[in-house]
Amino acid sequence: MHPSVEYVFLRTTEELCSFVAAWRRLWDRDPAALPFQSPDWLVPWWKQFGTEELCAVVIVREGEAIGFLPLYVYRDTVKRQRQLLPLGVGTTDYLDGVFAPECSVEEIGEAVELLRSEMAHDVFCASQLPDQSRLLEALKQRSAERDLGSEAGSRRDNAFFISQSDACSRMPAARMTDLPQKIRRNAMYYRNRAQRCGTLELVQADESNWQDVFSKLRQLHTMRWQSRGEDGVLVDERVVQWHQEAIPLLLRARLLRLMALKLDKEIIAVLYSLIDREREGRRAQYFYITAYSPEHADLRPGTLLIAYAVEHAAKEGVTAIDMLRGDEGYKQIWHMEKAPTWCVTQFAAANSIEHDGQQTAVLVG
């Protein structure tokens, strides 16, 4: 029989930062943890997008953290809701908690209940949960228990609603010669064209040059979006500052692959990607942001960048390439398969929220 656990709340940025060392140890013990759940990704995110209503809970047994659920309250003034959400929401394609193998789904479910009872909110929403998420498992279990314990259809109050979130796109990592025939022919054709123009090479950024590569990524990404009459995500200074703090942390943790495709030493395309820590079996690389030079569009630098990066990943022992959310046309060309993610929503029946200095009743549902 396991010793009992205690649940410790973190309510300030200072408390969150003080927990980072224990968070890293816990993250390293969680076999399902992705780079997106690491403190190197989420703490810089919180510093830019966090509110004054942090509500994270640590599950502790015998003085050691065995589980962590980082959530906060976001006040949506359009929907007039207080939303209890995971850190990273909106800019992170896979969300989840972090759990040691010995942390039970019952203990995870209890942590969620404590969070919901501790923080005034109108809706709890955990989206982008991967299939293997233990938080998802715990919420499904709680939902089943609640259905059994109440009359069917008698109450919407505290009911769970489980639906699919945006799926992510995956393909096997492969060397250039093992790519699907059409992709391989295109990649080799444009590689040969580029090599007739100069020396083509893929360079991986490190602590000495990541700032130059990230600056080029920002420039190329913004140029591409502005050519469509839109602003890209990298025009937002908060986003830029988040990544500028996260990148050196991710590099030191060996969770980042920031790569530049160069033609005669000129960067013509950049890939910002995260990678799973080394482990047996499944290991994925996540293509987060790509950008390429419109001046070299006739050489298909985006296609070349992905082909080179996929080959580099295969040589590194990566088994899967995950291009995350979105239905961009190039993902269909690369024969992507959809990896489903899930959203669990739980409403409160009726609450009030301060809005423009007024107390307003909010009926959800």
Binned average pLDDT, 10 residues per bin, the chain of 365 residues: 87 97 97 97 97 95 97 93 95 98 96 91 95 95 73 55 94 88 87 91 96 97 89 94 98 97 95 91 92 92 93 94 86 84 84 36 29
Same domain, 282 and 309: yes
In this predicted structure, what is the pLDDT of residue 335? 77
The answer to whether the Cα torsion of 96, 97, 103, 107 is positive or negative is: negative
Neighbouring residues of 198: CB distance < 8 A, sequence distance ≥ 6: 263, 264
Same domain, 38 and 172: no
Same domain, 13 and 56: yes
In this predicted structure, what is the pLDDT of residue 2? 67
The answer to whether the Cα torsion of 273, 276, 277, 281 is positive or negative is: negative
In this predicted structure, what is the pLDDT of residue 363? 28
Q: Which residue has the tokens 């490190």?
A: 206
In this predicted structure, what is the pLDDT of residue 228? 84
pTM, to two decimals: 0.90
In this predicted structure, what is the pLDDT of residue 279? 77
Same domain, 57 and 194: no
In this predicted structure, what is the pLDDT of residue 158? 63
- Domain membership of residue 208 (yes or no) is yes
Q: Which amino acid is at 193?
A: R
Task: Measure Cα distances from 89 to 70, 119, 234, 245, 359 in Å.
Answer: 11, 18, 17, 18, 27
In this predicted structure, what is the pLDDT of residue 124? 95
In this predicted structure, what is the pLDDT of residue 355? 36
- Domain membership of residue 133 (yes or no) is yes
- DSSP secondary structure string for all residues of 301-354: HHHHHHHHHHHHHHHTT--EEEEES---HHHHHTT-EEE-EEEEEEE-SEEEEE
Asked whether the beta carbons of 303 and 292 are under 8 A apart, the reply is no
In this predicted structure, what is the pLDDT of residue 154? 44
CA 153 to the chain's CA centroid? 35
Domain that holds residue 162: 6-167+341-363
Collapse the DSSP code of 73 into the 3-class scheme (helix H, G, I; strand E, B; otherwise coil) and give the result: strand
Same domain, 156 and 275: no
Task: Give the count of beta carbons closer than 10 Å to the beta carbon of residue 257.
Answer: 23
- Domain membership of residue 293 (yes or no) is yes
The closest of 171, 175, 169 to 312, measured between CA atoms, is 175
Same domain, 256 and 316: yes
Enter the tokens of residue 39.
């403190």
Q: What is the pLDDT of residues 237-263, one digit of tens each?
A: 999 999 999 999 999 999 999 999 999
Asked whether the beta carbons of 107 and 142 are under 8 A apart, the reply is no
Same domain, 203 and 146: no
Domain at 352, CATH number:
3.40.630.30
Q: What is the pLDDT of residues 156-210, one digit of tens each?
A: 456 789 999 999 999 999 998 888 888 888 888 988 998 999 999 999 999 999 9
DSSP 229: T
Same domain, 333 and 227: yes
Question: What's the structural domain count of the chain?
Answer: 2
Same domain, 311 and 345: no
